[in-house]
A and B are shown apart, each in its own frame.
Chain A
Amino acid sequence: MSYTPELALALLLIIPLVASVLIPLCRRHANIREAVTLISAALLLANVIYLVKIVAGGARPELHLGTFAGKFEIKFVLEPLGAVFAAIASSLWIINTLFSIGYMRGNEEKNQTRFYAFVAIAIAASMGIAASGNLITLFVFYEVLTLSTFPLVTHKGDAKAKRGGTIYALILMGTSLGLLLPAVIGVQVIAGTTDFMVGGVLEGKASMLAVSILLFLFAFGIGKAALMPVHPWLPNAMVAPTPVSALLHAVAVVKAGVFTMLKVVTYTFGPAIATGSSMSTILSWVAAFSIVIASIIAMRQDNLKKRLAYSTVSQLSYVTLGAMLATGYAIIGGALQIIMHAWGKITLFMCAGAIYTVAHRGEISKLNGLGRTMPWVFGAFLVGSLSIIGAPPMGGSWPKFFLMAGAIDSEKAILLAALIVSSILNVIYLIPIAVRGFMRPPDDPAKDAVIAIERKKHRWVIIPPVLTALGAFILFFFAGDMTDFLMPILPGGEF
């Protein structure tokens, strides 16, 4: 069998699934088990890079797996947006695995085999979402992602984990079965297909009312996008071990949500149809509201992971806002936000995990002076924060810029104001963390001296966030390439 684009597309799913089978088989040998994950992740990344290249060349590899339940088809097509999502998830899987090894061993977590196996399944589901050729395929993998991450969120298995996991599953499954699935079936009935096509499939087929209802169902049915008020699953999922929060709740799960949102607006509705209904205006308001309110809630959290969680809620709504504005700049801005936020936020989460592993601290108020003991971690945190805020020369500045341009394009000054306010709020709740670490004197220098010794044992929780911070910086210089790569998702292929 030769290596064709179709095979590469199939391998997106096969590689992580094979890993998920091999990992339990190697459960007695921890090093071999982790090697399986790392090798699979590397193979997957190589495979994705190949696919990204051919997608950039204009090809759209396709794969049909047959039908289920009559006319619903399981079908994969890779297009630029999906390729981007696949690239982020696969590249960060490698870095996160390194981090996981450091974290899980450093904290002597139980059931590590189960952890790595389910992460591999979750990655497979993310790849499935990225490569879906139609809504129903996307829905299937969306649900698989929810179910495969449930054992990860509840990894600790105590009462707190149970409570968090229950909220997680109930909101994500409730919204997807209750709102998303009807929307998917609605599209099938109205358009006769759920295939993704540039410019959408609803033009001339759906009435304004139907478009409004569908848009509403998608916006809240895609619970993973955490648009308020369906966001509570996200902070509750923070009961998970930090590598889970880092990979899944900064990258795979939440990005699957906003990715779906963007994909639906560009490929199912088509930007013109989506903005034609006043529902999109209402939803852009909801998104703006989410951005600001979640930032305010984030300011009030002392628990570092909780603060990052609310920050994620806020940042995700940028993408939703981009989707609802649906101008050329806004959509590309939303897509760039998926990339930049992933790198920035995973840095922050991994820093939080590193601090927890090395210093056993989870509250921001206890971080005084810790930056002097752990300069690399706090340095990475600062870089990540700047990227999230959108300060140049960090990758995160581009999406903010594009989104503002989008808001100006559609003449919505208040949304522009919301974006600016949010950036200020971001500064207020992120920068003091790093500042506290570097500037304030330590509360108990003796303890910090112990931590400095301890630090040397935990190399693998410190290197990964530094790498991703570096990534967040380097990405700044590639925004042009990414924009060119993403351009074909717009109808007409230009702004």
Chain B
Amino acid sequence: MGMLEFFPEWLQYHGAALAVVLPLLMGAICAILPSERLAWITTLIVVSICTVTAFGLLLVTFGGESVIYKMGGWDPPKGISYVIDGLNTPVIFLISAMALLTTLYGLPSVVAEVEPKKRAPFYGAFLIGVAGLLGMVVTGDAFNVFVFLEVSSISTYVLVAMGASRDRRALAAAYRYLILGSIGATFFVIGLGFLYMETGTLNMADIGRKLQELEGGSRVAMVAFGFITVGLGLKLAMFPLHMWLPGAYAHAPSFVTVFLASTATKAALYLMLRFSFTVFDVSFDYVLTVVTYLFTGLGCAAMVLGSLQAIFQTDARRTLAYSSVAQVGYMLLGVGMATSLGLTAGYVHLLNHAVIKGALFFALGAFWYRYGITRTEDFAGLGKMMPWTMGAFTLGGLSLIGVPLTAGFISKLQLAEAALQRGWGWAVFVIMATSILAIIYIGRLILTAYFQAPPEIDGEVVKRNEAPLMMLIPMWILVALSITIGVNSDFVVQAGQMAAEVLGGIS
């Protein structure tokens, strides 16, 4: 990798810590900055540094290496270690790059949606949230995962609640998310407790080794796995633990919705993978059972019911939120196959979906920014009123459906192939049937936008008023990325294969 030469040696090693510590520290400082513009610039600089660092780390693992960073020079398992390997660098890069894009988008969007006095703290909370997500992905210590999970969750509750100046329902949504999220975290930490009881260590690699020696361990380990699955299931919105998600997505500020939709559930899913396949292992009966039956079953249920619910929403943001529940189902289905192909497919969809949904929510945010539109019926005439934004929404929507030459098609192709390879012909039909449901819920929005005339206000047809450039640029970057992946998906598939290699899975 020639590009790796641009990254100094120390960054390749210390990058893991830098990407977490920098936003954490700057988040605290950001919150007390006197000017919102200053806070925005600080945030932009921090997430840019994180993105560059993450890209460097990605290159390191693409070169086939992995790094174990010892916090403070303390050796694991006593000290906390950060692990950089093929499984987490794509997610680290995803989180930082999405943070960068949303920050750009935030310049106009946050001004429109958050009260002036709260804007600097808003960016502060956002940075801490980024730090939390990066931390839980990068760390190799199980208890550290819990800490960062809480850091990211608490800041997310705050961020969602900030939507209150635009929509009071954001408060209820944030409260609901807080309650459910805390229950999830509690389950998770109880699980860790059991795990510690069984193995006497908190280092994830070490736990993995010990459990391997114990051949899966006693019933205590089994219970631990159950608690951890439920805890993480809540965080990643695994059906039917997704109840917090539609409200949170629908009422949070657009900025937050985009960031949540493309990173938060993805990071939680990453943890689920990490715990199920490397800390625990599919060679243990109970893990295999949960993965094969629970993940697959709930995944398929989410695909079907989530898509159906998406059809019946009257608010476009809720439509996309339920679609997200369904899309998590696709990922779980891939993971549930537990084969190398299935894991690759699930992981690829994790990345692709982040790109697609990010673009779609960006577009929804722009509709709200210009015209205050969120309801499906108000989409009338948007094709004429905001052609560029609606164009991005259409291309993103086609990708969500899984039309060829878009990222979504790659996901479905991979998933379906993996399912057939596993001998699960029925799963192919679930995948395709839900694609058809996606045609309905996306098609409805697109048809309304293009076929109905723009509304009239006081006898005058609403005029064209395109979104500002700062919104269009991040939106179209994601759309272009989705099409690029559709034409040549080698790098995404390679990332998926790298992840699958780390995870192992059944042969």
Contacts and interface: CB of A to CB of B under 8 A. Distances in A.
A68 B398 contact: no
B193 to A, nearest CB: 41
Nearest to A139: B404
B488 interface: yes
B398 A181 contact: no
B439 A173 contact: yes
B504 interface: no
A350 to B, nearest CB: 28
A185 B436 contact: no
A1 interface: no
Nearest to B413: A69
A374 B440 CA distance: 45
B410 A68 contact: yes
B398 A147 contact: yes
Contacts of B451: 154, 157, 159, 161-162
B416 A72 contact: no
A108 B270 CA distance: 57
A331 B334 CA distance: 40
Contacts of B425: 186
Interface residues of B, number: 33
Contact of B417 (A147, A179, A189): A189
Interface in A147-203: 147, 154, 157, 159, 161-162, 165-166, 169-170, 173-174, 177-179, 181-182, 185-186, 188-189
> Is chain A's interface secondary structure helix, strand, loop, or mixed overall?
helix
A204 interface: no
B493 interface: yes
Nearest to B414: A69
A70 B405 contact: no
Which of A68, A136, A140, A174 has the most chain B CB atoms inside 10 A of its CB?
A: A68
B433 A178 contact: yes
A178 B436 contact: yes
Given A69-B489, A70-B493, A169 B443 contact: yes
A66 interface: yes
B403 interface: yes
A451 interface: no
Main secondary structure of the interface of B (DSSP, over half): helix
A144 B405 contact: yes
Contacts of A166: 443, 447
Contacts of B473: none
B428 interface: yes
A67 interface: yes
A169 B420 contact: no
Contacts of A68: 410, 486-490
A143 interface: yes
B404 A162 contact: no
Contacts of A162: 447, 451
Interface string B410-445: 101110110011000100110011011001100100
Contacts of A154: 451
A182 B432 contact: yes
Given A69-B413, A170-B443, A178 B435 contact: yes
A136 B414 CA distance: 13
Interface string A124-152: 00000000000010011001100100000
B443 A188 contact: no
Given A68-B487, A162-B451, A189 B432 contact: no
Nearest to B348: A69
A107 to B, nearest CB: 21
A185 B420 contact: yes
Contacts of B398: 147
15 contacts: A68-B488, A68-B489, A140-B404, A140-B405, A143-B403, A147-B403, A162-B447, A166-B443, A174-B436, A177-B439, A178-B435, A179-B432, A181-B432, A182-B416, A188-B417
Interface of B: 398, 401-405, 410, 412-414, 416-417, 420-421, 425, 428-429, 432-433, 435-436, 439-440, 443, 447, 450-451, 486-490, 493
Interface of A: 66-70, 72, 136, 139-140, 143-144, 147, 154, 157, 159, 161-162, 165-166, 169-170, 173-174, 177-179, 181-182, 185-186, 188-189
